[in-house]
């Protein structure tokens, strides 16, 4: 069992391209590592902290407790995730937007005074299909729906349903697996402010560092879904260790390279194999 640790650390889908809205899956171990004919179920929980200004001129801090369930049936993986957020930021900053799940939505109808709010985030349901390999190339197609379970009045979510689709291509060369992914997010249409579709891409390499240890390094970009916030650019690295057959531990960190990304982000996750 492996845990998603990357630029989209708590992805709800089985493909890293959509990994923390972004999705999915197991950036620390590309699709090829997760494919098989047997069924498997796991539960992942973890904590993440991220901080940045996101072009607002004010500090934005978000603490997230993520809970995700995954079910793999052969080459198909289903996932469901429901986080809890604590947001400290200006009142016009809305949490949970963008392909990386970042607080990049600025509501111009809200005041800019700093406020703290917390609560359940949006429910995300995902599915990913790993296709048969061709000449050693592994292709995974994925889709995700974000349902508006987070409070829009408290600025934890947009109150709208979002849809995202993505694909990831990977090929292993011994312990080294380069990968590239793309995703397209179609946000809902809130009445108070405008959102736009977002195209994102990510590329990197996954390394098998030992029998039970895998690391990854990646670079990702994403168009901002809010016209008020610049595009996102991040670099990420993570480690995933199998503690036992049914338990895994993940650590990761992100660094923002643009005003639309967090300055820093870090997290830890635990994965429990159910069957």
- Contact, 135 vs 102, CB < 8 A? no
Tell me what pLDDT residue 36 has.
Answer: 52
Tell me what pLDDT residue 53 has.
Answer: 87
Work out the average pLDDT over 48-65. Answer: 88
Distance in angstroms (rounded) separating the CA atoms of residues 171 and 205: 10
Work out the average pLDDT over 139-168. Answer: 93
Question: pTM here?
Answer: 0.85
pLDDT in tens, 72-96: 999 999 999 999 999 999 888 887 6
Distance in angstroms (rounded) separating the CA atoms of residues 95 and 103: 4
Work out the average pLDDT over 136-158. Answer: 93
Tell me what pLDDT residue 103 has.
Answer: 54
Tell me what pLDDT residue 216 has.
Answer: 96
Written as six digits, the tokens of 10 are 């708590």
Work out the average pLDDT over 46-61. Answer: 88
Distance in angstroms (rounded) separating the CA atoms of residues 155 and 170: 37
Residue 44, strand partner residues: 68, 271
Cα 215 to Cα 29, 39, 172, 239, distances in angstroms: 8, 25, 14, 4
Question: Nearest-CA neighbor of 220 among 6, 1, 36?
Answer: 6
pLDDT in tens, 227-245: 877 888 999 999 999 999 9
Helix (H) or strand (E) holding 31: helix 31-34
Indicate the DSSP class of residue 34.
H
User: Structural domains in the chain?
Assistant: 16-273 (2.40.160.40)
């Amino acid at each position: 069992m492996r845990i998603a640790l990357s630029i989209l650390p708590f992805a709800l889908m089985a493909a890293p391209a959509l990994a923390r809205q972004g999705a999915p899956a197991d950036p620390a171990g590309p699709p090829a590592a997760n494919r098989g004919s047997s069924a498997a179920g796991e539960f992942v929980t973890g904590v993440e902290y991220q901080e940045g200004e996101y072009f607002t001129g004010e500090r934005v801090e978000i603490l997230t407790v993520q809970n995700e369930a995954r079910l793999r049936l052969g080459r198909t993986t289903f996932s469901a995730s429901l986080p809890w957020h604590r947001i400290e930021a200006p009142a016009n900053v809305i949490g949970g937007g963008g392909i990386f799940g970042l607080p990049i939505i600025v509501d111009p109808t809200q005041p800019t005074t700093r406020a703290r709010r917390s609560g359940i985030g949006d429910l995300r349901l995902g599915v990913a299909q790993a296709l048969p390999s061709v000449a050693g190339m592994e292709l995974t197609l994925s889709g995700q729906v974000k349902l508006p379970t987070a409070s829009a009045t408290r600025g934890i979510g947009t109150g709208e349903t979002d849809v995202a689709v993505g694909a990831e291509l990977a090929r292993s060369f011994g312990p080294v697996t380069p990968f590239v992914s793309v995703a397209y997010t179609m946000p809902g249409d809130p009445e108070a402010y405008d959102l736009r579709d977002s195209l994102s891409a990510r590329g990197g390499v996954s390394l098998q560092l030992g029998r039970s240890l895998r690391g990854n390094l990646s670079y990702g970009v994403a168009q901002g879904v809010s016209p008020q916030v610049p595009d996102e650019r991040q670099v990420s690295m993570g480690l995933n260790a199998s503690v036992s057959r049914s338990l895994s531990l993940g650590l990761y960190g992100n660094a923002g390279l643009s005003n639309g990304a967090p300055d820093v982000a870090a997290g830890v996750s635990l994965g429990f194999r159910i069957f």
